[in-house]
Amino acid sequence: MSDSPSGSTSDTASDSSPDASPLARAARVNFERTADRLELPKGIRTLLSRSREEHEVSLPVLRANGELAVYRGFRVVHSTARGPGKGGLRYAPSVSLEEVRSLAALMSWKCAVMDLPFGGAKGGIEVNRRELDDPEARTLTRAYVHALAPLLGPDRDVPAPDMYTDEQVMAWFVDAYAATTGTLQPAVVTGKPLALGGSRGRDRATGLGAAIVLGAAMESRGVDPDGAQVAIQGFGNAGRVLALELAEQGVRVVAVSDSSGGRHDPSGLDVAALAREKAQGASLADLDGGDTLTNEELLALDVDALVPAALEGVLTPEVAEGVRAGIVLEVANGPTLPDADPVLRDADVLVIPDLLGSAGGVTVSWFEWVQNRSGDRWSLEKVKRRLESRMQAAWEAVSTRAADDSISLKEAAWSLGVERVAAAESFRGG
Ligand code: GLU
C-alpha cells in the first residue's frame, strides 16, 4: 500500500476504494462530480483520482523515560503537474494514510484555484504532540526529515505547518534538512520563524485571507460589514485571527468556540480579551464574556455569516437544516459533507468553499518561498497588499465561473482547480 521513500509510485487510491472517513468520501465525491461536469478524459481522470506518490515511514524516538517509541509518518504527493508538492505537515493521533491522501488532493485543487505554481501534497505523523516534550518533538521531526529527505526540497515538495505543528517545528525541519543535505535551504518548508527566513504575515495568513473573501462575499450579498453578525467555530490560528481581524473592521463577532464549547453575546464579544486569556491556557467555556453555548448551538445561530474554522465534516445534512446564516465561510478543510451542500443551496445560503476560504495560508507560503528564493524580505504591508489582490482575483475567478456555468461557488472552485491541474497534466502528456 505505502512504500519507502525511494519506492515506486502508488497505485492504491482507486475510485472504488471504500472511504473510511467523511473527509475522504467528501474529497472523492466532489472530485467525481467535478470530473463528470468537466467531462475529463478517462486517463486524466484516473491520474487525478490517485496520488502520484505515497510514503509511509517508521520513526523511532528514544524518549526521556528510556522507552523507544515508534511513530508512523506519512507524506503523500497528489500532483506535481503545476509545480513542487505543497501542503502542511500535521502531528495528530488521528493521522492516517487515507486522511493525508485526501488532504494532499485538496491541496492540489487549492493551489490551482489560487493559481500558485505548486502541486499538492500533505504529510502527517500519528502522534499526540502533547505527550512529547520539545527535545522529543525535535527528535521526531529530525527522524521524519531524515527518512524523507530525498523526496523533499524547494523544487520537489515543500511542507508547512498544519494541525499541531508550528514555526518551531518548521525551524527544526530546516535544521534537520541542512544536517542531512549539507546545505541550509530555508525554502524547503514555509511557515518558518522570521529569524530563519519566515515571511511577515505568514502566521496570520489563513485568517487574513478568510477575512478578505468574507468581505467580498458580504459585498456580493449586499450585507454591510459594519455591525454584521458573525459566528466562528474554532479559535485556533485561523479562527482567532479571523475574529480579531473582523472585530477590527467593525464586524460584530457574536460567538466563538473551541473544543470546550463557546461564548455568545449578540452585541459582540470582546475577542481581543478572549484571545489574550485563551493564550494563557484557558478554555473558552471557562472564560467571562457573554453566555456559554455549545458548538451545535453556534452552528444554528441566526447570523449574517457562519464560519466553521475547526473540524472536518461538522455540517452534516441534519446540521445544515438548522443553519440560519446567509453566508457560510469554510475555513476548516472539508467542513461541509457533500450531502449537506444541496441543503444549504436550497436554503439560499452562499457557501464560500474551503478551496478559497482557507487558501490565505498557502498563498503567503508561496510569498515566503518566493522571498527565500530571491533573497528578499517583504514588508507586512506588501504581504497584505499582495494577499488582498490574490484573494480578490481568486474570488472573482470563482464567482465568474459560478455565474457563467450556473453552478455554486463550491462547484465553480472545484471546476477551476481540477481543470487547471488537468490542463497542466495533459499538456505534459500525463
Ligand atoms: N496547512 C495549510 C493548508 O492546509 C497551509 C499549507 C501550506 O502553506 O503549504 O492550506
Grid cell 446567509 in the structure block, residue: 326
Look at ligand 1, atom 5, and give the residue with the nearest C-alpha: 362
Distance 290 CA to ligand 1 centre (A): 33
**pLDDT above 70: residue 24:** yes
Q: Of residues 86, 110, 122, 410, which has the active-site annotation?
A: 122
In tens, the pLDDT along 291-317 reads: 999 999 999 999 999 999 998 899 999
pLDDT, tens only, 381-398: 999 999 999 999 999 999
Which single residue is written with the C-alpha cell 454584521? 228
111 C-alpha to ligand 1 centroid (Å): 9
How far, in Å, is the centroid of ligand 1 from the Cα of 362? 5
Cα(291) to ligand 1 centroid in Å equals 33
User: Residue with C-alpha cell 481581524?
Assistant: 245
CA–centroid distance, 222 to ligand 1, in Å, is 31
Which residue's alpha carbon is nearest to atom 8 within ligand 1?
362
Residue 103 Cα, ligand 1 centroid: separation in angstroms?
A: 10
Instruction: Please measure the distance between the N-terminal and C-terminal CA atoms of the chain and give it in whole angstroms.
Output: 22
Strand partners, 55: 3, 75
CA dihedral angle for residue 410, residue 412, residue 418, residue 421, rounded to 10 degrees:
-120
Q: How far is the CA of 157 from the centre of ligand 1 (A)?
A: 13
Half-sphere exposure of 56 (CA within 13 A, CB side): 15
Contact, 216 vs 356, CB < 8 A?
no
Q: Which is the closest atom of ligand 1 to the Cα of 366?
A: 8
Average pLDDT over residues 38-55: 98
Q: What is the architecture, at CATH level 2, of domain 204-352?
A: 3-Layer(aba) Sandwich (3.40)
Q: Which CATH fold would you assign to the domain 2-7+52-188?
A: Rossmann fold (3.40.50)
Q: Let me know if 33 is exposed, middle or buried by CB neighbors in 10 A (0-12, 13-18, 19+).
A: middle
pLDDT at residue 127 above 60? yes
Pocket test for ligand 1, best of 78, 107, 167, 369 (most atoms within 8 A of CB): 107
Residue 205 CA to residue 338 CA, distance in Å, equals 27
Atom of ligand 1 nearest to the CA of 190: 8
Same fold, 2-7+52-188 and 204-352: yes
Report helix, strand or coil for 126.
Answer: strand
Counting atoms of ligand 1 from 1, which one is nearest the CA of 90? 1
Q: What is the pLDDT of residues 309-366, one digit of tens each?
A: 998 899 999 999 999 999 999 999 999 999 999 999 999 999 999 999 999 999 999 9
Do 428 and 81 contact (CB within 8 A), yes or no?
Answer: yes
Q: In the chain, where are the structural domains located?
A: 2-7+52-188, 204-352
Buried b (16+ CB within 10 A) or exposed e, 312-331: bbbbeeebbeebebbbbbbb
Atom number, ligand 1, closest to the C-alpha of residue 103: 4
Protein residue with least CA distance to atom 4, ligand 1: 88
Q: Which atom of ligand 1 is nearest to the CA of 159?
A: 9
Q: Which ligand 1 atom is the nearest neighbour of the CA of 118?
A: 9
Q: What is the overall mean pLDDT for the chain?
A: 94
Query: Is the pLDDT score of 33 beyond 50?
Result: yes
Nearest CA residue ID for atom 10, ligand 1: 362
Look up the pTM and report it.
0.94
For residues 162-189, average pLDDT: 97
Substitution candidate for ligand 1 out of 80, 362, 364 with most atoms within 8 A of CB? 362
CB atoms under 10 Å from CB of 175, counted, come to: 16
Distance 360 CA to ligand 1 centre (A): 9
Active site residue 122: yes
Percent of the chain with pLDDT over 90: 94
pLDDT at 2: 37
Q: Which among 206, 237, 354 is the best mutation to test ligand 1's pocket, defined by most ligand atoms within 8 Å of the CB?
A: 206
pLDDT value, residue 11? 37
Pocket-forming residues, ligand 1, beta carbon under 6 Å: 86-88, 160, 162, 190, 333, 358, 361-362, 365
pLDDT at 17: 56
Confidence of residue 242 (pLDDT cuts 50, 70, 90): very high
pLDDT-based confidence at 1, cuts 50/70/90? very low
Give which of 149, 36, 24 is closest to 78, Cα–Cα. Answer: 24
Q: What does the pLDDT read at residue 20?
A: 76
Give the DSSP H or E segment for 350: strand 350-352
Which residue has the least CA distance to atom 2 on ligand 1? Answer: 88
